A = this chain, B = another copy of it.
Amino acid sequence: MDYREFYRGRRVMITGGLGFIGSNLARQLVALGADVLLVDALIPDYGGNLFNINGIAERLRISVADVREASMMNHLVRNREVIFNLAGQVSHIDSMKDPHADLEINCHSHLTLLEACRHHNPDAKVVYAGTRQIYGRSESLPVTEAHLVNPTDVNGINKAAGEQYHLVYNNVFHVRACSLRLTNVYGPRQLIRHNRQGFIGWFIRLALENRTIQIYGDGSQLRDFVYVDDAADAFLRAGATDACNGQAFNVGGTHAISHRDLTTLLIDIAGTGRVEYIEWPCEKKAIDIGDFYADSSKMITATGWQPTVDLHEGLTHTLAFYREHFNHYAAEETKQA
């Protein structure tokens, strides 16, 4: 069966479903005719935004609930056939200010979800949103899944533990699960209210507001980027493919680009914004990882996934989206790092 056909009438759940990737995934699932339940705690500053389901809200259900609450999760997981587990705290910076909060959100909650599946829905398939951040500084490029896990911040450590719980529950308790290690995902519906969740959303906001984008050092560090629709497609494929069970897969871009070139491209497409090169702040340098880009061939081989939206096209869509809906994403600028 085609992996898209697999979702027709399928009972799915998305934790973090009102967030950036979760809501874009929900749009695809609704279009495919799935029975979609979104779970989101709407924790301030985390990325959940009711406007993210504008236009599809009537075609899915929402439970405003915290994945850490066992009794609620025990109830919600019942009868869900595929669970996309995207809830999380994604700010590296916040994790270093309040490491216990990061632990609660990125470890405790996943154990609660997995225990709920183990005891109340052992037939569920769970797809976890992992991150390339767990690799830390790359020792070789492009980075494959054989690279050492060596996180440089508390968020990366806890995200690695969250991933490993899923793989252990697959191997020991037979709750089918796999993990997608996402690189830098960008696109419509990303949080751009503050700059603590990665730089790409924030750079997009600054360009839109015709402000100055500050780049640390000479901007030569390399990264790869995935458009959010391509990331969502990877989740769909992994959820429908049992060959993925018990494994982690890189999900990255087709090629690497420097911060400098990315910013030039962004400003060029936007027609607004400017760039300024500044010295590395010490505390940022301490958790920077240098060049990073992923080898996604394991995912491509296992599922046939391929990124289809290039950076020019993706940034063009993204800028148009935020231009149209700016007030829903950037009306207030919350406290910054």
Contacts and interface: CB of A to CB of B under 8 A. Distances in A.
B151 A168 contact: yes
A149 B134 CA distance: 12
A100 B96 contact: no
A157 interface: yes
Interface in A157-174: 157-158, 160-161, 164-165, 168, 171-172
Contacts of A152: 168, 171-172
Contacts of A115: 99-100
Pick from A157, A164, A283 the residue with the most CB of B within 10 Å: A164
A168 B100 CA distance: 15
How many copies of this chain?
Answer: 2
A108 interface: yes
B99 A111 contact: yes
Interface in A239-260: none
A114 B95 CA distance: 14
Contact of A149 (B114, B148, B153): B148
A18 interface: no
A157 B287 CA distance: 22
Interface size class on chain A is 20 to 34
A337 interface: no
Contacts of A108: 100, 103
Contact of A164 (B103, B157, B171, B287): B157
Given A99-B111, A99-B115, A103-B111, A168 B172 contact: no
Contacts of A107: 103, 107, 161
A166 to B, nearest CB: 10
A192 B107 CA distance: 31
A154 interface: yes
A149 B156 CA distance: 14
A132 to B, nearest CB: 16
Contacts of A114: 99
Pick from A103, A112, A158 the residue with the most CB of B within 10 Å: A103
Contacts of A111: 99-100, 103, 154
Interface of A: 96, 99-100, 103, 107-108, 111-112, 114-115, 146, 148-154, 157-158, 160-161, 164-165, 168, 171-172, 283, 286-287
Given A103-B107, A152-B172, A160-B161, 15 more contacts: A96-B172, A100-B115, A107-B161, A111-B154, A146-B148, A148-B149, A149-B149, A150-B164, A151-B168, A153-B168, A153-B172, A154-B168, A157-B165, A172-B283, A172-B286
14 contacts: A99-B114, A99-B115, A100-B108, A100-B111, A100-B115, A103-B108, A103-B111, A148-B149, A149-B149, A150-B164, A152-B171, A157-B168, A158-B161, A160-B161
